[in-house]
Structure 1
Amino acid sequence: MTQATPKPQTLYDKIWNDHVVKHSSAAQDNGLDLIYVDRHLVHEVSSPQAFDGLRAAGRPVRRPDCTLATVDHNVPTGFRDKKVHDLGSLVADPESRAQCAALETNVKDFGLSYFGLQDRRQGIVHVIGPEQGFTLPGITCVCGDSHTSTHGAFGALAFGIGTSEVEHVLATQTILQKKSKNMRITVDGELLEGVNSKDVILHIIGVISASGGNGCVIEYSGSVIRGFSMEARMSICNMSIEAGSRAGMIAPDGVTFAYLKNRPLAPQGETWDRAEAYWRTLTSDEGAKFDVEVNIPASDIIPSVTWGTSPQDVVPITGSVPDPASFSNPDRQRAAERSLKYMDLVPGTRMEDIKIDNVFIGSCTNGRIEDLRSAANIVLAAGANATVAPGVYAMVVPGSSLVKLQAEAEGLDVVFKRAGFDWREAGCSMCVGMNEDQLLPGKRCASTSNRNFEGRQGAGGRTHLLSPAMAAAAALRGKLADARQFLHKSAQSTVDLVLPSDHIAAEPVPIPVLEFTSKKIPTAASDNVSAKVFRVWRGVAAPMYIENIDTDMILPKQFLKTIVRTGLKHGLFYNVRNDAGAAHFILDRAPFDKATILVSTGKNFGCGSSREHAAWALDDFGIRCVIAPSFGEIFRSNCFQNCMLPVELSVEECRALASDAEAGLELVVDLERQEITRGDHAPMLFTTDPFRRTCLLNGFDDIATTMQDDAAIAAFEQRRSQMWPWLDGIGYAGKKVKVKSAGASAMEW
């Protein structure tokens, strides 16, 4: 009997299928699968409420060995006295200090590995994961941060999650997910002189739009991608979320393996050989089906820079600010008009004529050693007397403390400081602007970060995204500038981080894992019913006519410095409301100030950050249903986690509902019937994932529901240990590591 030929699979298919603990039932076709999580990264902003949830239910962290925590988002990046270990002295802002202190308490109580503020391994989660070898090919990786897609550069399935999902992973080491579609973006050919990975991903987003990847996982392929170093590949995958996709991936190869070899947490010896043999199978099969294919000639890509308030608003540095009338889509036109007003730009202005006030080199997109070398090369090429232009403040923030040490060993800090750049400590810094590193109102910044949303780097600040080389060129010129004027040939380094000898241990040092201190965790009973259900929801609907309404707009960063879930309604659309004035913004005008439903005519509502705080703020205001043509993937999940209903309808249907809302018609959203009614109009039908629908109708708790599958999870873990033993960290299955107290500070347990 002839054996059936296996169906060709994509890289995404392979990793997904290898991590399914439990498929959705036949009755829930296209529903949610229970996926096992190999690696979980945790930081101070999105985790406090998750740990509080564990305490309230008396639940431990299921796999401390698969979890790694650090502080990065709102830590100060000014000088840190290495002799000081008191958190109060290191973090002056009381709200930031409270979040950092909460994480310290949580990692102690739950026995998690932690890189504290004075730990030499501290840094941005998406820099330290690969740096330590915690990120490996073939894994699933999650974090309460949207740019977790970075880790996909290693052939991993990596994506951001909200705080409720952080709690779910901590408790069960699994997550409920709907499988995405497969999308492949191929970049072939020879890159033009001076073009690097940041230019490539900005160009891609400009081509497919900020919502072009909605509902998809993107695999990047082609000769250009294969020619990139690991650091360049991470920059590409990092910004996949800015294209609306769930994740970005690149198949692992020799470049990947060379980068990982001998990393502290990577497999060693015979285990490495076994792991590498498996990793080499992680490619898309010949004939594998992709739902969407995009081909981009390398010759089309020119060093690029953004002009608006979305990463899709991008042009070559040699180009000009576009006219909104050149866009055919009405929502796109309105967005462009709004962007130009916010950015204080006039159509037709040459990009190279735009003056800047600030330069930021850093972030999880471009804060690695290769990025700093690229920027320093521009400064060196400009000559010994090159200095930052008068009136410009330029800062360089390494992505991790190890990157900082490496840069200083190479003398890069001297290059920057001699030219007038401010050399900082590791952290997210001005990318998200949660600490003191913020862009002042009206100031313009050339930034190597990933988002140029309104107020992203500071309320009223204006951001232009570009590469490290272009940022350095802008700092020297005082205007947006083409880096090619400084270098005749692109100098992209592929050298991996190598520390000076006094910073390297003779043998890889395992991350210490503390013994779980269960006595500190209350044993409160939990049940399977939350305080809320969603069945029929009626009321006033507020119409909004903007596409790509991002989470920074819904709730600005200054409201993220909280360790609770409540009291956020006063921050809802805060910057926009203050900008528009109480008499103009829709939610400040009667009857919409009592709105319980939001209708957006623009696609990609809730794009951007993984911050669940955006959903909390809408709920706190009284809005529990959002209707839009499409949603940011993480925002959609966050709505369900908070018993809120995201409803996806066509653009035409959303415009009709917005018109009805303007006319004052009350909307009635019936989840049981899956229909929306208003006035005498015929009902509009919608669909919701059957599992999510059941949970909303009955108020079921995801975690308690998942824990009913504990036997299946345990069986999966047993198979996982046999197949991929290198993924079981120290501390798993009862094995503990004693933590050395000698020389350890209060933050380096």
Structure 2
Amino acid sequence: MPAPTVQPRTLYDKVFDDHVVYSGEGDTLLYIDRHLVHEVTSPQAFEGLRNAGRKVRRTDCTLATVDHNIPTITRKNFKSISTFISEPDSRAQCAALEEHVKEFGLTYFGMDDKRQEGIVHIIGPEQGFTLPGTTVVCGDSHTSTHGAFGALAFGIGTSEVEHVLATQCLPQAKSKNMRISVDGPLAEGVNSKDIVLHIIGVIGTAGGTGCVIEFSGSTIRALSMEARMSICNMAIEGGARAGMIAPDDITFEYLKGRPLSPRDGEEWDMAEAYWRTLKTDPGAKYDIEVEIRSEDIIPTVTWGTSPQDVVPIAGVVPNPEDMASNKRGNAIRSLEYMGLTPGTPMEQVKIDKAFLGSCTNGRIEDLRSAAKVIIASEKNGGPTHVSEHVYAMVVPGSGLVKQQAEGEGLDVIFKKAGFDWREAGCSMCLGMNPDQLKPQERCASTSNRNFEGRQGAGGRTHLMSPAMVAAAALTGYLTDVRKLMGSHISEDGGLKITSYFDYLSPLAVAAPDAQPTEISENEQTPVKVANAASAGLPKFNIVKGICAPMWEANIDTDKIIPKQFLKTLLRTGLGSALFWPLRYDVKTGDIIPEFVLNKEPFNKSSLLVCTGANFGCGSSREHAPWALNDFGIRCVMAPSFGDIFKNNCFKNGMLPLELSQEALDVLYKDAESGKDITVDLEKQVVVRPNGEEIQFSIDPFRRHCLLNGLDDIGLTLEHRDAIEAFEEKRSNTWPWLDGIGYAKKGGKVVPLPQRKGVKKMEW
């Protein structure tokens, strides 16, 4: 009898298949190997556990830290979060996380831990917590960063954070496979940030919707791990659920000897043998394929308020009149917000601030790349100091990155050139901390998003590489970095290059079974004050009422609910902040009467129809559906949705309803009339004011859950036996995933070998 034919599989297929706990009605139940937790998206999740009397299922698989809210000022006088963080809401979120990790017995990198002082997506890989072939989640959309290791890594909402804590599993629908191949040698002055900005410019912010992107090709294979992380970090900006790169010798060399990696010897050999199988099989099929020629990529910057609004630095501000009609309205609004005139050369755009940092570009190679520009500019007779009208800041991505940079003298180079050398943290990437832009200030930024108000209300952001940010800081204008580098473009810049391992010292951690610190029953803490609802969902059957009409494409979660309203321990009370940048004047706070939700009768809307695609793109913040729900909107109708936003809606008993463009255009006109529209989920129809019915389809399992208000965690726990069987198999097959590396079964830190050496870096 002939052997059964084995279907060729992609990298994504293999990792997905290896984590299936249960597959039946509804989404597939996936096991989650690694869970990263920070202070912004977790308070309501822990409160949900407490209200339901649930524990964290696998404390050894969760790593917690604070990053979004923390100030980047000096920590010489740091004693505690309560005395160090002055902003009340930021302090409350950070204090709540410290409470939660004590209560639930989690591993925590706090602000007095030298491994912290930074960003969760830099700390995870740096410590070896991120490993090939794992599933990695975090309540943060840029979890896609970890896909650079061949992990399936994606952002989740707060309800899903609670779900993973309680069950170590997540229901997930299988995504489509997309491959983006980049081939050929890179031109001088081009690096990974230019690659990913160019890709997003080609595919658009919705190009990867419903997909997991595998980045491949000779250009990608030649990149360092840090460069690969920058590319996967921004896969989410291309609309993808996740980005992945197959692991190889560069991956293994990066991981070997890190604190949470498999130990040298049999464990490492077993792990590496498995990791080497994690590559796409010959003949495997992709749903979408995109090919990029590296020779087409030159240093790239954004001009608008979406990561897809890109142009080569040698180009000009585009003219909306030259664009397709469906893109013209967004472009006009973007240029108005950005204060730019069509036809203006990009190198004539003057900046006010420069930001080097973030989970996209806050690693040691990024800092070296920028420092090299400063050195080369001086050698070429160019500017040697930050322009007099520019404030420039450098924010390392972690405490260890900062130590290594100082060991190499990078801090001296930056400070001598007039840059502000800061402590580590998320900083100005999203401005939830004191590092923010003022209205109309223009920033050259290495961060990942240029949405309206992302770095501060009214602030204007241009995305680019670390080298390009350094060039802009020195000249005071967006600048082609190649002009400053001159003949020194291929040199090492005379930098002192060291190894991560030179700065790593063994640190003891709490054993996984350590008893949490007792908290007095009478102590009034932020968590005890917050009484967020978490159990059960309202049933969704028929929703009838006023429908608010909107036309914009790519309405992102920052626009739905800006970052300043994420500093809450509650799921409720966000309705008044819904669409804040559109409803209120960012300078005065006054209501803008023309905005639809400020008008009668739309200020009482229970439905929303949007004719523009990709509604809810951007962040994983579950606050977006919370704000809509709190306002009273139970259903949003649009041509398509951001994947994470769509999932978050279902988790909150809301219906994200995808309809045809023709149906939406009709309903938009109906909505403008101010007459009632009805969404009947039982019959699966939208009823127009004239009685005409528009049929729609929806996943049967999603429909069943909405109609019955079913709680996802309860559904998952019905499969306890399957979860336990999977965990037993997991321990036998991938034993290096149990425990947290050096602290397995309460053991102490194993001393690490001190390695010297230089890895190839991006210039």
**Normalising TM by the smaller chain, what interval?**
over 0.9
Matches within 5 A, 1:296-315: 296-315=292-311
> Match of 1:725?
735
- The alpha carbon displacement at 1:5 in A equals 2.0
Q: d(CA) in 1 for partners of 2:384 and 2:453?
A: 31
Deviation readout 1:398-433 (Å, 9 max, x if unpaired):
000100000000000000000100000110000010
Task: Show the counterpart of 1:607.
Answer: 617
> 1:679 Cα deviation (Å)?
2.5
- Residue 187 of structure 1 corresponds to 182
Q: CA shift at 1:500, angstroms?
A: 7.3
The range that moved more, 480-489 or 585-594, is 480-489
- After superposing the two structures, state which structure 1 stretch, 408-417 or 728-737, moved more: 728-737
Q: Is the 8 A contact 1:405 1:499 kept in 2?
A: no
**2:370 aligned with 1:375:** yes
The verdict on how the C-alpha distance between 1:733 and 1:222 changes in structure 2, with shifts beyond 3 A counting, is: closer
Alignment partner, residue 227 of structure 2: 232
1:77-115 C-alpha deviation (Å, 9 max, x unpaired) = 01111x532222221111111111000000000000000
Q: Which residue number in structure 2 is paired with residue 557 of structure 1? A: 563
Tell me how far 1:521 sits from its aligned partner: 12
Shift of 1:504: 3.1
2:324 match: secondary structure? coil
| CA-atom RMSD in angstroms | 2.2
Q: Any residues of structure 2 matched to 1:696-735 within 5 Å, and which?
A: 696-730=706-740, 735=745
Structure 1 SS opposite 2:94: helix
Cα distance in 2 for residues equivalent to 1:731 and 1:469 = 36
Relative to 1, partners in 2 of residues 1:731 and 1:105: Cα closer, same or farther, differing over 3 Å? farther
Match in the other structure for 2:10: 10
One-letter amino acid of the structure 2 residue matched with residue 675 of structure 1: V
CA distance in 1, matches of 2:207, 2:673: 32
Residue pairs, 1:96-107, within 5 angstroms: 96-107=90-101
- Helix, strand or coil: the match of 1:382? helix
Secondary structure in 1 aligned to 2:292?
A: strand
Distance 2:567 2:491 in 1: 40
| 1:409/1:500 contact within 8 Å kept | no
User: Is contact 1:185-1:221 (8 Å) kept?
Assistant: yes
1:435-514 matches, within 5 Å, as: 435-487=433-485, 488=487, 489-490=489-490, 498-499=499-500, 501=502, 503-505=503-505, 512-513=511-512
Counterpart for residue 747 of structure 1: none
Aligned to 1:541: 547
> Match of 1:109?
103
Q: Structure 2: which amino acid aligns with 1:411?
A: G
CA distance in 2, matches of 1:192, 1:607: 32
Deviates more, 1:701-710 or 1:375-384: 375-384
Q: Tell me how far apart the structure 2 counterparts of residues 321 and 373 of structure 1 sit (CA, whole Å).
A: 30
Cα distance in 2 for partners of 1:189, 1:137 equals 26
Alignment of 1:321 onto 2:321: no
1: CA distance between counterparts of 2:351 and 2:662?
41
- Answering whether residue 599 of structure 2 is matched by residue 589 of structure 1, we say yes
Provide the residue aligned with 2:752 in structure 1.
Answer: none
User: Which of 157, 164, 168 pairs up with 1:169?
Assistant: 164
Asked if the contact 1:55/1:521 (under 8 Å) is kept, the reply is: no
Contact 1:597–1:624 (8 Å) recurs in 2: yes
Distance 2:305 2:534 in 1: 42
Deviation per CA, 1:275-302, whole angstroms, max 9, x where unpaired? Answer: 0010000000000010000001111111
Partner of 1:283 in structure 2? 279
CA shift digits 1:505-527 (9 cap, x unpaired) = 3x6866643525498799xxxx9
Counterpart-to-counterpart distance in 2, 1:375 and 1:674: 55
* Structure 1: segments with no counterpart, 5+ residues: 26-30, 740-749
Q: Distance in 1 between matches of 2:64 and 2:325?
A: 43
Provide the residue aligned with 1:348 in structure 2: 343
Give the superposition deviation at 1:732. Answer: 12
1:582-615, Cα deviation, whole Å (9 max, x unpaired): 3110100111111111111111100111111111
Aligned to 1:532: 538
Provide TM-score, normalisation by structure 2: 0.92
Q: Which amino acid aligns with 2:454?
A: R
Paired with 1:530 and 1:14, the residues of 2 have a C-alpha distance of 34
Q: AA paired with 1:302?
A: I
2:510 and 2:187 map into 1 onto residues whose CA distance is: 43
Distance across 1 between alignment mates of 2:421 and 2:507: 29
| SS class of match (1:684) | strand
- Aligned match for 1:118, one of 107, 112, 121: 112
- Give the letter for the 1:244 counterpart: G
User: Which of the residues 79, 84, 89 maps onto 1:85?
Assistant: 79
- Percentage of identical aligned residues: 63
The aligned length equals 727
* Whole-angstrom distance in 2 between the partners of 1:241 and 1:280: 26
Moved >4 Å (runs of 4+):
490-497, 507-512, 516-522, 730-734
Matched, 1:576 2:582: yes
Q: 1:492 to 1:676 in 2, by over 3 A?
A: farther
1:94 partner amino acid: P
The aligned residue for residue 415 of structure 1 is 413
Q: 1:41 corresponds to which residue?
A: 36
Q: Is the 8 A contact 2:637 2:664 kept in 1?
A: yes
The question of whether the paired residues in 2 share the 8 Å contact of 1:264 and 1:508 is answered with no
* Counterpart residue identity of residue 451, structure 2: F
Residue 69 of structure 1 corresponds to which residue in structure 2? Answer: 64
Which amino acid is the alignment partner of residue 2 of structure 2?
A: T
Aligned to 1:646: 656
Among candidates 308, 330, 335, match of residue 335 of structure 1: 330
Task: Tell me which amino acid in the other structure corresponds to 2:35.
Answer: H
Aligned to 2:424: 426
Q: Helix, strand or coil: the match of 2:200?
A: helix
Which stretch shifts more, 276-285 or 692-701?
A: 692-701
Per-residue deviation at 1:693?
A: 1.2
> How far apart, in 1, do the equivalents of 2:483 and 2:237 lie?
29
TM-fit CA distance, 1:575: 1.6
Contact 2:511 2:743 in 1 (8 A): no
Structure 2 letter corresponding to 1:485: K
For residues 429 and 615 of structure 1, the distance between their equivalents in structure 2, rounded to whole angstroms, comes to 25
Q: Is the 8 A contact 1:124 1:428 kept in 2?
A: yes
Write the deviation string for residues 608-660 of structure 1: whole angstroms up to 9, x where unpaired. Answer: 11111111111110001001111111101111111010001122222221111
In structure 1, how many angstroms separate the alpha carbons of the residues matched to 2:42 and 2:128? Answer: 23
Q: Is 2:696 aligned against 1:686?
A: yes
- State the alpha-carbon separation in 1 of the partners of residues 662 and 393 from structure 2: 46
The aligned residue for residue 515 of structure 1 is: 514
Pairwise CA distance, 1:735: 3.1
Which residue of 1 is the match for residue 528 of structure 2?
none
Q: Is the 8 A contact 2:561 2:624 kept in 1?
A: yes
Residue 424 of structure 2 corresponds to residue 404 of structure 1? no
Contact 1:154 1:251 in 2 (8 A): yes
Please give the alpha-carbon distance, in whole angstroms, between the structure 2 residues aligned to 1:535 and 1:698: 9
Give the secondary structure class of the aligned counterpart of 2:247: coil
Aligned equivalents of 1:560, 1:276: Cα separation in 2:
40
Q: Do 2:602 and 2:674's aligned partners in 1 also have CA atoms closer than 8 Å? A: no
Give, in angstroms, the shift of residue 327 of structure 1: 1.5
One-letter code of the match for 1:35? L
Q: In structure 2, what residue type is equivalent to 1:273?
A: D
* Distance in 2 of aligned mates of 1:467 and 1:601: 34
After superposition, the C-alpha distances for 1:482-513 in whole angstroms (9 at most, x for unaligned) are 11112242568999972475x433x6866643
The one-letter amino acid of 1:15's match is V
